[in-house]
């Protein structure tokens, strides 16, 4: 089949690669020219295990071609929409999805299947089908087919999860779901469950909201553990030995493109709600402040004047192993610190624009705060690094330091035991 993938970001590029490597001819439409050029030269613009080898192969075999020209999509039998769905002033910004749909309306033929993979508020896929009907004069379920196939992959494991995760596929018409199932069977080995488009939208948003609310609960436990003199990580490990308890991990906050906005997408058109989901968001959004409070407690203990202090934030990415800084709590932390301490430095081995060498970053510094759980941060030689620092303060915002390093003032989110 000729397949058009619209939006070649963290989701669209791996998806385009998977369709291409399972034998389809894929045209990837992307508005960013720099991204298109990089992809066509066989290099990915994002960090993800296996992506460069896989991309090189499908580009060399001429199975995938990126383009900025919508007309290159003509003749496609299926279109997969993978554009971003951010918040704008706390409301879902669906303009990217709508623009993609308008582009498809200009180039699609009768019989085409349009799949929205982007995470969208309930009702959006049906609305987009109606928009396509208005723009083309054709009818969904008769002349073309629209489905929602929400993406569930976890960055860092995308190529495995694309194949082995189960998928929910919701059709605007029942036939749309069946056609989309057949298409995804090109590479999906997990189960595929068919439902309506609006149910599929709600399922996706419920999954991420479940995670966000559970992380908020863990964060609240962390704050309580600090007051009770308990190590929350040990307490969680023990509580999770119960057969029906699965507490999440507390930390400096919840970032990424999805978890911080998907609960709001779920609530965006709701007439009634209980407020639990919003409260969980507030708890998670407040976590960088909790880390700053710990830092100031350490300053007081060490007799350091905050206005003269140099603080190093270790990690800018929203979680370990990625270069993605969207909605990262580390960025929020940096912003908070910039107004309250003398100098803020950053070090992240995955993110450009930060210090290249951790030793340079820590030289003459008064404190380090771990904001991202990069693997590299779990085994840092603190004895050696401490000797470069002016004051040895270490704040663990990610619960990755089990044993506080010697001669440091060590505090951590949820570490009431230190």
Ligand X SMILES: CC(=O)N[C@@H]1[C@@H](OP(=O)(O)OP(=O)(O)OC[C@H]2O[C@@H](n3ccc(=O)[nH]c3=O)[C@H](O)[C@@H]2O)O[C@H](C(=O)O)[C@@H](O)[C@@H]1O
Ligand Y SMILES: NC(=O)C1=CN([C@@H]2O[C@H](COP(=O)(O)OP(=O)(O)OC[C@H]3O[C@@H](n4cnc5c(N)ncnc54)[C@H](O)[C@@H]3O)[C@@H](O)[C@H]2O)C=CC1
Q: Active-site residues: which are they?
A: 204, 258
Q: How far is the CB of 144 from ligand X (least distance, A)?
A: 27
Quick one: what does residue 208 bind among ligand X, ligand Y, none, with the CB cut-off 5 to 8 Å set by partner type?
A: ligand X
Q: Of 256 and 288, which CB lies nearer to ligand X in the complex structure? A: 256
391: helix, strand or coil: coil
Instruction: Choose from ligand X, ligand Y, none: what does 38 bind? Cβ within 5-8 Å by kind.
Output: none
Q: Which of 201, 19, 35 is nearest to 27 (CA)?
A: 19
CB nearer to ligand X: give 354 or 391. Answer: 354
Q: Quick one: tokens of 329?
A: 């709590």
Q: Where are the alpha helices (H) located in 229-328, listed in sequence order?
A: 232-239, 262-267, 276-285, 287-302
Q: Which does 4 bind (CB under 5 to 8 A by kind): ligand Y, ligand X, none?
A: none
Question: Would you put residue 81 in left (φ > 0), alpha (ψ -120 to 50) or beta?
Answer: beta
Q: Considering beta carbons, is residue 119 or 346 the nearer one to ligand Y? A: 119
| Residue 320 to residues 51, 181, 408, Cα–Cα distance (Å) | 17, 33, 24
Which residues contact ligand X (rule: CB under 6 A)?
Answer: 119, 151-155, 207-208, 211, 215, 248-249, 251, 254-256, 258-259, 318-319
Residues at the interface with ligand Y (CB under 6 A): 6-12, 29-32, 35, 82-85, 96, 99-100, 103, 118-119, 151, 153, 155, 257-258
CB of 69 to ligand X, least distance (A): 29
The smaller minimum CB distance to ligand X, of residues 144 and 318, is found at 318
- Min dist CB 351 to ligand X, Å, is 14
Minimum separation from the CB atom of position 191 to ligand Y (A): 18
Give, as one character, the DSSP assignment of residue 412: E
Helix (H, G, I), strand (E, B) or coil at 411: strand
Exposed/middle/buried for 198, CB within 10 Å: 0-12, 13-18, 19+? middle
SS3 418: coil
Return the one option of ligand X, ligand Y, none that residue 9 interacts with (CB less than 5 to 8 A, by type).
ligand Y
Using CA atoms, how far apart are residues 386 and 401, in angstroms rounded to an integer? 15
What's the closest the beta carbon of residue 251 comes to ligand X, in angstroms? 4
How far is the C-alpha of 20 from the C-alpha of 11, rounded, in Å? 14
Nearer to ligand X, 217 or 418 (CB): 217
- Determine the Cα–Cα distance for residues 300 and 286; give it in Å rounded to an integer: 22
């Amino acid at each position: 089949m000729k397949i058009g993938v619209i939006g070649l970001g963290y989701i669209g590029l791996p998806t385009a690669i998977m369709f291409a490597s399972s034998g389809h001819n894929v045209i990837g439409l992307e508005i960013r020219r720099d991204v298109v050029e990089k992809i066509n030269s066989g290099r990915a613009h994002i960090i993800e295990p296996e992506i460069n080898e896989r991309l090189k192969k499908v580009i060399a075999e001429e199975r995938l071609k990126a383009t900025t020209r919508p007309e290159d999509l003509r003749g496609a039998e299926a279109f997969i929409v993978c554009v971003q769905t951010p918040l704008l002033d706390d409301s879902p910004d669906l303009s990217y999805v709508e623009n993609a749909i308008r582009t498809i309306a200009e180039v699609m033929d009768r019989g085409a299947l349009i799949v929205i993979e982007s995470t969208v508020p309930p009702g959006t896929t049906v609305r987009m089908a109606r928009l396509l009907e208005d723009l083309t004069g054709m009818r969904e379920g008769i002349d073309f087919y629209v489905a929602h196939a929400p993406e569930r992959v976890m960055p860092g494991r995308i190529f495995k999860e694309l194949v082995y995760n189960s998928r929910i596929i919701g059709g605007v018409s029942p036939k749309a779901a069946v056609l989309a199932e057949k298409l995804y069977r090109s590479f999906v080995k997990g189960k595929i469950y068919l439902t309506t488009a609006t149910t599929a939208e709600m399922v996706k948003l419920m999954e991420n909201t479940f995670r966000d609310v559970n992380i908020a609960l863990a964060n609240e436990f962390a704050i309580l553990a600090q007051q009770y003199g308990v190590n929350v990580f040990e307490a969680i490990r023990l509580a999770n030995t119960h057969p029906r308890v699965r507490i999440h991990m507390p930390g400096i906050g919840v970032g990424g493109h999805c978890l911080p906005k998907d609960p709001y997408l779920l609530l965006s058109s709701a007439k009634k709600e209980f407020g639990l989901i919003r409260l969980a968001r507030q708890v998670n959004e407040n976590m960088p402040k909790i880390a700053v409070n710990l830092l100031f407690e350490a300053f007081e203990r060490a007799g350091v004047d905050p206005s003269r202090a140099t603080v190093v934030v270790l990690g800018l990415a929203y979680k370990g192993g990625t270069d993605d800084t969207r909605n990262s709590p580390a960025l929020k932390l940096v912003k908070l610190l910039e107004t309250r301490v003398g100098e803020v430095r950053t070090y992240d081995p995955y993110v450009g624009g930060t210090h290249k060498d951790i030793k340079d970053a820590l030289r003459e510094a008064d404190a380090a705060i771990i904001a991202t759980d990069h693997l590299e941060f779990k085994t840092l030689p603190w004895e050696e690094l401490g000797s470069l620092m002016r004051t040895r303060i270490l704040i663990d915002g990610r619960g990755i330091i089990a044993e506080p390093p010697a001669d440091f003032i060590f505090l951590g989110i949820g570490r009431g035991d230190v």
